């Protein structure tokens, strides 16, 4: 063997001792695009073929009795949906009107600045309707959550004392002449006989204090559909409370008579302990406020009553 051959055989290969490295493909945008294309292909493959969709449409027609039958029940269904939407809108409108009446009654017939209020019934939203400077609102009810009411009172900037107890017991436990206003929101039917209810409220009120209430009363053909009859009382109960002999001034009226009737009223305890205030003595500002509130809504209502032959606005 020639030296040149040996030298070529013994000569090290340029790659003989090179370290072994694995070439990993760097992530690139083309690979990401391929992955997205693959996912799209899988999604398209999962879609039902046109034949399956055609069979589904034929099955719907068969259940409905054919294309003509399908149209025959779609139109009544659409009409029922429109009627349901109208009923929902009516319920929302009725609820908004009752909320407005409640807000107006509390804002106008609870004295501004320094009032102590006993509220039986209602919701935490009512706390926002009290005049600024209300000293305390004592709220009673068997199902109320004390923590929720106290938190709402802090947000509304109205100190709240929540009492989880039957409303009749809460009223009976109050000291005499301790409240500037007693507010009854849907609870007149839970407080015993009308004479007993009026006497208890009269005892708790300070001289010149006000009984303020918003109460659902029975009546109206749409009431079961619009608002329900929970807590509703006969109008005779409201009239009996208003006719209590001790009041200096008492007046009430009905809102939403055609849909969900609610009686809204105010009664005032005399400033003097001897009985109702004489015509020459100073009267409570609430009498004027109530008449203004009722007068604002009297125009439209009087027009409706003239058309139907009804009586005037407001009851004493």
Mean pLDDT on 10-29: 50
Q: CA torsion 257→128→183→284, rounded to 10°?
A: -90
Which H or E run contains 263?
Answer: strand 262-268
Distance of alpha carbon 229 from alpha carbon 223, whole angstroms: 7
**What percent of the chain has a predicted confidence (pLDDT) above 70?**
55
- State residue 240's pLDDT score: 95
Tell me, what's the pLDDT at 284? 46
Using one digit for the tens of pLDDT, what is the confidence trace for 190-214? 999 999 999 999 999 999 999 999 9
**Mean model confidence pLDDT for the chain:** 75
Beta bridge partners of 285: none
Nearest to 213 by CA among 245, 189, 178, 177: 189
- pLDDT at 2 > cutoff 70: no
Maximum mean pLDDT: which of 77-91, 105-119, 302-316: 105-119
- If one compares 113 and 267, the residue with the highest pLDDT of the two is 267
Digit-coded pLDDT (tens) for 138-186: 999 999 999 999 999 999 999 999 999 999 999 999 999 999 999 999 9
Q: Ramachandran region of residue 65, left (φ > 0), alpha (ψ -120 to 50) or beta?
A: left
Domains along the chain with CATH numbers: 98-308 (3.40.50.150)
pLDDT value at residue 224: 72
Over the stretch 120-139, which tens digit does the pLDDT of each residue have? 999 999 999 999 999 999 99
The helix/strand/coil state of 12 is: coil
* Confidence bin at 242 (pLDDT 50/70/90): very high
Q: How far apart are CA 86 and CA 259, in angstroms?
A: 13
pLDDT digit string, tens, across residues 248-286: 999 999 988 878 889 999 999 999 755 444 444 344 445
């Amino acid at each position: 063997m020639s030296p040149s051959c040996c030298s070529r055989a013994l000569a090290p290969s340029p790659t003989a001792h090179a370290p072994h490295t694995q070439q990993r493909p760097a992530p690139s945008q083309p690979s990401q695009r391929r992955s997205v294309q693959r996912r799209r292909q899988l999604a398209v493959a999962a879609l039902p073929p046109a034949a399956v969709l055609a069979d589904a449409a034929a099955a719907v027609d068969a259940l409905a009795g054919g294309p003509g039958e399908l149209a025959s029940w779609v139109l009544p269904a659409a009409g029922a949906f429109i009627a349901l939407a109208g009923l929902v809108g009516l319920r929302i409108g009725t609820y908004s009107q009752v909320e407005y009446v409640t807000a107006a009654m509390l804002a106008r017939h609870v004295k501004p600045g320094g009032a102590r209020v006993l509220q039986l019934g209602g919701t935490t939203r009512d706390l926002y309707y009290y005049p600024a400077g209300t000293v305390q609102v004592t709220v009673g009810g068997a199902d109320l959550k004390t923590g929720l009411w106290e938190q709402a009172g802090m947000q509304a900037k109205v100190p709240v004392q929540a009492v989880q107890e039957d409303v009749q017991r809460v009223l009976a436990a109050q000291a005499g002449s301790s409240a500037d206003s007693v507010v009854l929101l849907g609870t007149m039917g839970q407080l015993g006989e009308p004479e007993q209810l009026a006497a208890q409220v009269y005892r708790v009120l300070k001289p010149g204090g006000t009984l303020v209430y918003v109460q659902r009363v029975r009546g109206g053909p749409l009431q079961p559909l619009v608002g329900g009859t929970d807590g509703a009382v006969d109008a005779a109960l409201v009239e009996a409370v208003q006719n209590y002999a001790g009041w200096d001034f008492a007046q009430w009226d009905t809102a939403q008579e055609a849909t969900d009737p609610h009686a809204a009223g105010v009664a005032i305890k005399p400033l003097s302990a001897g009985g109702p205030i004489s015509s020459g003595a100073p009267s409570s500002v609430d009498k004027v406020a109530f008449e203004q509130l009722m007068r604002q809504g009297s125009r439209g209502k009087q027009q409706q009553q003239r058309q139907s032959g009804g009586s005037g606005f407001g009851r004493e």
